[in-house]
């Protein structure tokens, strides 16, 4: 049993390392505000999914998914579109790889951090509180490193295109 756990941890660490290398190579990838939101939402959802399994919080995860179902689906669609724009034909495969890396990273955190389940429970409580926020408001209050590999797109205003006005 101990050997299986060590082997699993090693494989996950290698996957996470590969994910970090992958993210570092994406530093030139331009992401819109909606793309960054979708990346962060995927990271939060994967973290809560791992908590459902690791912390025996499946009922809380199910409530979370049902409460935010429409917004989660729209965010996931945005994430898929973002990866298709970035990678063309291989966008779908890169999308799935990205989500797998997010889950693996969360799984490693659940092994390393003794407070993982306590933190996850607090996150579920915020998400499912009586004064439920929109998914965007909830996600904006969550920490995530997932979007670090993507830089925001430059915003070009109409005045920047036409140049300065003369009087």
Residue 151: strand pairing partners = 30
For the stretch 68-85, pLDDT in tens is 999 999 999 999 999 999
Overall domain count for the chain: 1
Domain assignment present for residue 156? The answer is no
162 assigned to some structural domain: no
Contact between residue 66 and residue 81 where contact means Cβ atoms under 8 Å apart: no
Token pair of 58 as six digits: 């499946």
> Is residue 164 included in any domain, yes or no?
no
In a domain, 151, yes or no: no
Assigned domain for 30 exists: yes
Residue 156: predicted pLDDT: 66
Asked if residue 12 belongs to a domain, the reply is yes
At residue 80, the pLDDT reads 97
Domain that holds residue 99: 2-142
With a cut of 50, say whether residue 137 has pLDDT above it: yes
Of residues 65 and 159, more confidence is placed in: 65
The answer to whether residues 133 and 34 touch, using CB atoms and an 8 Å cutoff, is: no
> 0.85 exceeded by the pTM?
no
Element (H, E) at 133: none
Most distant CA pair in the chain, distance: 78
Q: What is the DSSP letter of 32?
A: -
Q: Is residue 147 part of a domain?
A: no
- What is residue 91's predicted lDDT score, i.e. its pLDDT? 93
107 token code pair: 């799984």
Rounded mean pLDDT of the chain?
81
């Amino acid at each position: 049993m101990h050997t299986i756990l060590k082997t699993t941890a090693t494989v996950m660490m290698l996957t996470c390392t590969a994910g970090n290398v992958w993210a570092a190579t994406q530093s030139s990838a331009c992401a819109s505000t909606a793309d960054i939101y979708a990346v962060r939402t995927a990271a939060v959802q994967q973290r809560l999914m791992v908590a459902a399994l690791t912390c025996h919080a499946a009922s809380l995860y199910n409530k979370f998914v049902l409460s935010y179902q429409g917004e989660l689906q729209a965010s996931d669609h945005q994430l898929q579109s973002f990866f298709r724009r970035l990678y063309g034909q291989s966008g779908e495969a890169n999308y799935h790889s990205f989500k797998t890396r997010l889950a693996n990273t969360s799984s490693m955190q659940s092994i390393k951090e003794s407070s993982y389940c306590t933190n996850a429970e607090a996150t579920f409580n915020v998400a499912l509180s009586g004064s439920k926020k929109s998914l965007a408001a909830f996600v904006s209050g969550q920490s995530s490193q997932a979007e670090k590999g993507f830089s925001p797109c430059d915003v070009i205003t109409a005045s920047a295109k036409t140049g300065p006005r003369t009087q």
